[in-house]
Amino acid sequence: MDRFDALQLFTRIVELGSFTEAAGTLDVPRATATHAIKALEKRLGARLLDRTTRQVTPTLDGQAFYERSKRVLAELEDAETSLSTHVANPHGTLRLDLHGTHATKIILPRIGEFKARYPGINLVISSGDRLVDLVKEGIDCVVRAGQPRDSSLVVRRLADMPEIICASPDYLAQHGTPMHPRELSGHQAIGFFSRGNESRYPFTIMMEGHVTEWEAKGWISVSDAACYTSAALAGCGLIQVPRFRLEEHLQAGRLVQVLPEWDCPTLPVCALYPFHRQLSPRVRVFIDWALELYSDRFGAVGKAGP
């Protein structure tokens, strides 16, 4: 393993706290990783990592070397990026994490177009609703709906998605159909939470040019977008979600939009990536392609589609 690869391996071990996980992300055997770090420590004449049966942490020398290594690797990637051939024909592995619905309904159905345009890029895609640590998990870019909260990431807005409030016919037959937003407080809302934190988001509606919030009670909360829809289909209460996720249920009559006379605020979709990846050709071309994809579906950013 050359010095460049050893530096990459070392930084991944520090970030992941594991030889095995770091070796896995770089597609090298665990034994090779162990040997490479021993050789690196011998060459430097310093112990870089403290190893236990449960975790690997940097020593004081290791932490200082890690900070310098990150800068060196960033400079090397900048140098590669400056080459026109590399920019025009990006190659290597791009690790993405996508919200499940966006993966299955928007990005993956057309992913063949991306491969045809950039044949040198291999994709590794994880999906779900959970928050991810991009640096620790070695992810280059994520696509998420909602207002970004992590100020340490670069944000590129891809789309503004129209949202609706809806419920099943059975729920509406039992509880009635709200005719004005103020009636929402008397209805059941399905809650949503992540990482064990309850979040019963209020319904948001545009009234006289302003976003107004309406609280509703409820007896069930879920932590997954698919479960959120399933709970609504089962008659558990009202939900507010991007319309594109529910088109088949709306057309089949399994869900019914309520308060259609009032618009809901649009929900932003963003690509997020670490600052040290902002010059990566692989990340750049994926985001540009994703922007085209979302613009085709929802219109240009700031101009929500139907």
Q: What residues form DSSP beta bridges with 92?
A: 121
Query: What gap in Å lies between CA 221 and CA 231, rounded to an integer?
Result: 9
Top mean pLDDT of 27-31, 81-85, 136-140, 161-165 is at: 161-165
Residue 105 belongs to a domain: yes
What's the average model confidence in pLDDT over 75-85? Answer: 62
Whether 140 and 178 map to the same domain: the answer is no
Beta strands in 99-148 (DSSP E): 121-127, 141-145
pLDDT tens profile 173-225:
999 999 999 999 999 999 987 664 555 678 999 998 899 999 889 999 998 88
Q: Which of 47, 81, 115 is the last residue of a domain?
A: 81
Residue 304 belongs to a domain: no
Residue 306 belongs to a domain: no
pLDDT tens profile 25-75:
788 899 999 999 999 999 999 999 998 877 899 999 999 999 888 878 877
Query: Would you place residue 24 in the very low, low, confident or very high pLDDT band (cuts 50, 70, 90)?
Result: confident
How many whole angstroms from its chain centre is CA 238? 25
pLDDT at 156 exceeding the cut of 60: yes
Residue 303 belongs to a domain: no
What's the average model confidence in pLDDT over 124-146? Answer: 81
Whether 10 and 76 map to the same domain: the answer is yes
Q: What residues form DSSP beta bridges with 214?
A: 203
Amino acid at 159: A
Q: 3-state DSSP: the chain helix, strand, coil percent, rounded to 5?
A: 45, 25, 30
Whether 178 and 254 map to the same domain: the answer is yes
Question: Using an 8 Å Cβ cutoff, are 161 and 242 in contact?
Answer: yes
Q: What is the pLDDT of residue 62?
A: 92
Whether 115 and 180 map to the same domain: the answer is no
Query: What gap in Å lies between CA 23 and CA 35, rounded to an integer?
Result: 12
Whether 66 and 36 map to the same domain: the answer is yes
Whether 13 and 129 map to the same domain: the answer is no
Query: What letter would DSSP give residue 189?
Result: B
Amino acid at 90: P
Number of domains, the chain: 3
Q: Which of 81, 116, 145 is the last residue of a domain?
A: 81
Q: What residues form DSSP beta bridges with 156?
A: 271
Q: What is the pLDDT of residue 167?
A: 98
Query: What gap in Å lies between CA 228 and CA 219, rounded to an integer?
Result: 13
Cβ partners under 8 Å of residue 16, min gap 6: 22, 25, 136, 137, 138
Residue 133 belongs to a domain: yes
Q: Lowest mean pLDDT: which of 39-48, 115-124, 141-150, 240-249?
A: 141-150
Q: Could you tell me the CATH number of the domain that includes residue 75?
A: 1.10.10.10
Which residues constitute the domain of residue 222? Answer: 163-258
Whether 168 and 208 map to the same domain: the answer is yes
Q: Lowest mean pLDDT: which of 55-59, 74-78, 120-124, 169-173?
A: 74-78
Query: What gap in Å lies between CA 99 and CA 129, rounded to an integer?
Result: 6
Phi, psi of 227 (to 5 degrees): -65, -35
Whether 150 and 271 map to the same domain: the answer is yes
Q: Could you tell me the CATH number of the domain that includes residue 214?
A: 3.40.190.10
Higher pLDDT, 133 or 36: 36
Whether 63 and 141 map to the same domain: the answer is no
Whether 135 and 271 map to the same domain: the answer is yes
Using the structure block, give the residue that is written with the tokens 């809806």: 166
For 115, the enclosing helix (H) or strand (E) is helix 111-117
Whether 238 and 154 map to the same domain: the answer is no
pTM: 0.71
Whether 94 and 236 map to the same domain: the answer is no
Q: What residues form DSSP beta bridges with 78?
A: none
pLDDT at 82 exceeding the cut of 60: no
Residue 62 belongs to a domain: yes
Q: What is the pLDDT of residue 306?
A: 42
Residue 305 belongs to a domain: no
**pLDDT over 70 percentage in the chain:** 88
Report the 10 Å Cβ neighbour count for 187: 22
Q: Which of 81, 108, 138 is the last residue of a domain?
A: 81
Residue 127 belongs to a domain: yes
How high is the mean pLDDT of the chain?
Answer: 87
pLDDT tens profile 259-273:
999 999 999 999 998
DSSP structure string for 214-273 = E--B-S-EESSHHHHHHHHHTT--BEEEEGGGGHHHHHHTSSEEE-TTSPPPPEEEEEEE
Q: How many CA atoms lie within 13 A of 6 on its CB side?
A: 16
Query: Would you place residue 278 in the very low, low, confident or very high pLDDT band (cuts 50, 70, 90)?
Result: low
